Structure 1
């Protein structure tokens, strides 16, 4: 006997994701707990990560996020999904490192005379672990320490990077982070430092299973291809992983917008109505990056205006009732924060009718950034972030 998987529509899925992201109502939780629910805050632009996290925590400011990162150490800045810089909860680092280090490595994009062998990678990672234990080193200091432990080949400046040449070892920086021996330390002036968090990665298979469940809880229903895109992992491998978890009864299939998708087993309750509310989300917000299908989150003209070649996160976005309805930008001058919001043409009237909500959001952005916001509704001339 076969059963038809329950059908889930976009509006229901979107509303549940927004609720579980604390975007319907900021939660009275810590920055670490909020970041755990987000499955990490993209921190390529650290100020944007601070805003992403603090907007979801009741009465929080960027100072609270900075304290969690720098004093309390309940947040760790490291290389997370897709090998990009993220804030992750310190308590979840064994899970993250176990899962990320178990993802199959693709073919190195480096030229043959630049790339490192598996043995060289292991040697450099061991050198990094040793050099960073109990220390915070700049890139140059870490380079010297690695070369002293491995040989001059690791320091050869052969990697093209920003009109410069980086030492060979830097191609495995995120590998070292995923193996639990490298994360960011305190900045030393304008220079970043690295340190060893002393984390023992969880067993890979178990960690991947838990990561899938957490991902589906936050962003499901989702297909293996969505999980693979979020991690920058092989699609076929993700399909096999989902099939194995389904076989164990840990995830179950639903029909999402007419296509097969997955949720955590038994997690099939969804809100009765669509998401409501006006929100301003910063660069690289986790919700805009992980929510799929992207065409539904960025409908119609939003796909062209608020994405950079289909890539989410490069613009701060205006979210109205669960979908992207414009872009925005903020510019600071002392305590004054000029917030400019550009609604899409199709959203101008709905946004004008909800100017009070938008003003509240701008004021909340100002409070998080420890300033005073001044809202302007008009064109945003700033292009996408690189």
Structure 2
């Protein structure tokens, strides 16, 4: 057992997230390596892939969605994730206990589901979706024909928790817009969910993408409990943090020197790097965590990394043919940092709005 400094933990995590250096890994392999990408907003994963891959083009992900190689589905923490078709079938059954708990405890919807035959509801929802994808409103209305005394929104919410519902294109296809419509994963992907997915593999893959990490970190990422029972069966290395917390890790995972340079990187809204640990000090100071998680309506801004840590937010504003990237530092930035932010920011603008003219990068004082 050894001790890892905060910077050593930071660099190890960045290495596994491919944020120390971009990689030419195929896009679907990256999505699989990250065990999915947070995607409750439709387009942040495009930026998340751009910041990790050497030559990512948005059409690659758009095509993969249309061709059903990847899908958007409720998974970890009960939030929408972009995953490969294979991982949708692997992860969705493992997350079911979280969704079952939500059906019992959700303050908005659970009161409308009391004494409801959920098996019958699931069958009715599957039947309603048999012929075509439906919006949540359409699905709720269809189910309310059978349960007219129940709130349609609650019935649709229950269906999403009981069945593996994917959000189908054109939603989240680059350059397109569309209402959120649902279909069952089995129908959309033409395959069944895994009958006995191994939670050990989920834990190992989490460490490969987000480690070294504690059991609490793993549980926060997944939204599940009692995962110590899983990690205790694995062959893992154990480390301690400088404040005495236990971290687990794969024996052969990369752990770069803490002084390894970390370039400026722009992260999209809701990137899992900022959400996938109980203790987020590896990437955020406590002051910056409060600022990020204190945003109104739970809408996280895009953030940027300087020397491996979140140091502020960014937004792109479009007006007719022009576009402006506004960078808002949350801490002092040196002239060298500002130059790096401007250079990388110009690349980000070119990715998002290649045809815009003029384009400008502004750093707020």
Contact 1:39 1:215 in 2 (8 A): yes
Contact 1:96 1:207 in 2 (8 A): no
Distance 1:18 1:36 in 2: 17
Distance 1:306 1:108 in 2: 26
Which of 10-19 and 301-310 deviates more?
301-310
Q: Does 1:81 align with 2:72?
A: no
Distance 2:330 2:125 in 1: 48
Distance 1:191 1:303 in 2: 32
Q: Does 1:68 align with 2:64?
A: yes
Count of residue pairs brought into register by the alignment = 348
Give, in angstroms, the shift of residue 213 of structure 1.
0.9
Unmatched runs of 5 consecutive residues or more in structure 1: 158-165, 380-386
Q: Deviations over 1:247-287 (max 9, x none)?
A: x33434322332112123x2355112345111111210111
Give, in angstroms, the shift of residue 312 of structure 1.
8.9
Q: Does 1:201 align with 2:168?
A: no
Which of 363-372 and 36-45 deviates more?
363-372
Label 1:105 to 1:193 Cα distance change in 2 as closer, same or farther (>3 A): closer
Q: Deviations over 1:142-165 (max 9, x none)?
A: 3354356xx224x732xxxxxxxx
TM-score, normalised relative to structure 1: 0.80
Q: Does 1:156 align with 2:150?
A: yes
Q: 2:263 matched to which residue of 1?
A: 277
Please show how residues 371-382 of structure 1 align to structure 2 within 5 Å: 371=354, 372=356, 373-378=359-364
Distance 1:283 1:321 in 2: 19
Q: 2:41 matched to which residue of 1?
A: 45
Q: Tell me, what secondary structure is at the counterpart of 1:101?
A: helix
Q: Does 1:59 align with 2:51?
A: no
Q: Does 1:215 align with 2:213?
A: no
Which of 211-220 and 38-47 deviates more?
38-47
Q: 2:174 matched to which residue of 1?
A: none
Q: Deviations over 1:214-236 (max 9, x none)?
A: 111111121222222222333xx
TM-score, normalised relative to structure 2: 0.84
Distance 1:369 1:25 in 2: 21
Unmatched runs of 5 consecutive residues or more in structure 2: 172-176
Contact 1:94 1:200 in 2 (8 A): yes
Give, in angstroms, the shift of residue 134 of structure 1.
5.2
